[in-house]
Amino acid sequence: MIDGEKLTRWYDFQAPFYSWWRDRPDSAILDHLHQALEAEPSSLRLLDAGCGSGWCALGLAGRRPDRAVVGIDASGGMLDVAGARAKRQGLEHVQLRHGDVHRVEDPDDCYDAITAAGLFANLNETAPALLEFRRLLRPGGRLFVVEFDRRQLTGIRRLVFRCMILGYRVVSTLLPRFRFADQWNIERSTVDLDAFRDTAGQLGWRQQDLTYLESHWILALSPGDR
C-alpha cells in the first residue's frame, strides 16, 4: 500500500529536480496527444490529472494557446515548479490547482478531455479515479492515460529507474517521513496495462486507441454509456 501523505512529501522533496529527468517538451508523446486532441470535434477544455511539474499540461497548452488547461496535483512543491515554468513560458491560460484526483472540485461533464500521465502508478486503486473522470468528462470526451511500459523500457530508462529507486531507498531509510511504500521497485512503480484495461472495461470505459511511444503506453478511452 502507498501512504499518500508520505508520497506527497516525497514529491515535494524532489520537485526542484524532478523535471530534469522526467519532462521533455519535445517529446513525441506530447505531439501524439496534441494530434489526438486536434482530431476531436471539441477539445478546448482539458484537465491534466496529477500534473506534477507540468510536463503534459504545459506542453499541450503551449501547442495550442486557445486550449484552456487545468492541472491538479496533491504536491504543492510540484505545483510551484509548474507555476514558475508556466510564468516563464507565458502560458496564462493554464490554471494549476492543489487537488485530489478522487474528488475534483468541478461540476459534471465539464471537460472535453482528460490526460493522466504517470498518475496511476501513484494510486493504490485504479477504480476511484476512473469513476471520477467519467463524471467530469462530457459525453463524447476522451481520457488519455500515459504510463511507462515495464516490458519495453530501454536500458537507459531502466538505469534511470534503478537510480531513482535507490535514491528513494536511501532517503526513506534516513528520513522515514518519506517512506511511502516498502519494497519499491520497477514493477510497483509502473502500471500493468492488461490489468488496467480490465478494470476500465468493468467500469464501462471503451478503448479507442493504444499507442506505444518512448517506452510508454498511451491508452485512449471513452466513457461509454452512463
What are the tens digits of pLDDT across the range 20-42?
A: 777 787 899 999 999 999 887 66
Rounded Cα gap, residues 187 and 151, in angstroms: 10
The percentage of residues in the chain with a pLDDT greater than 70, rounded to a whole number, is 97
For 31-40, give one letter per residue: b (16+ CB within 10 A) or e.
ebbbebbeee
Length of the chain: 226
| Alpha-carbon 46 to chain mean position | 13
Of 3.50.50.100, 3.50.50.60, 3.40.50.150, 3.30.460.80, the CATH number of 4-222 is 3.40.50.150
The answer to whether residue 184 scores a pLDDT higher than 80 is no
Q: For 79-110, give the DSSP string.
A: HHHHHHHHHHHT-TTEEEEE-BTTB-SS-TT-
3-class SS string, 3-61:
CHHHHHHHHHHHHHHHHHHHCCCCCHHHHHHHHHHHCCCCCCEEEEECCCCCHHHHHHH
The number of angstroms, rounded, from the C-alpha of 160 to the middle of its chain's C-alpha atoms is: 19
180 or 108: which leads in pLDDT: 108
The per-residue b/e assignment along 169-183, b for 16 or more CB within 10 angstroms, e otherwise, is eebbeeeeebbbbee
> How does residue 17 score in pLDDT terms, banded at 50, 70 and 90?
confident
Stretch 5-17: mean pLDDT, rounded?
91
For the entire predicted model, the pTM comes to 0.93
The pLDDT tens digits for 45-103 are: 999 999 999 999 999 999 988 889 999 999 999 999 999 999 999 998 899 999 999 99
- Phi then psi dihedrals of residue 43, to 5 deg: -145, 45
3-state secondary structure of 157: helix
Q: Measuring CA to CA, how many Å separate 24 from each of 19, 37, 195?
A: 8, 19, 28
Q: Which of 147, 159, 124 is nearest to 193 (CA)?
A: 147
Q: What are the two backbone dihedrals, phi and then psi, of residue 56, each rounded to the nearest 5 degrees?
A: -75, -45
Mean pLDDT of 128-156: 92
pLDDT cut 90: percent of the chain above it: 65
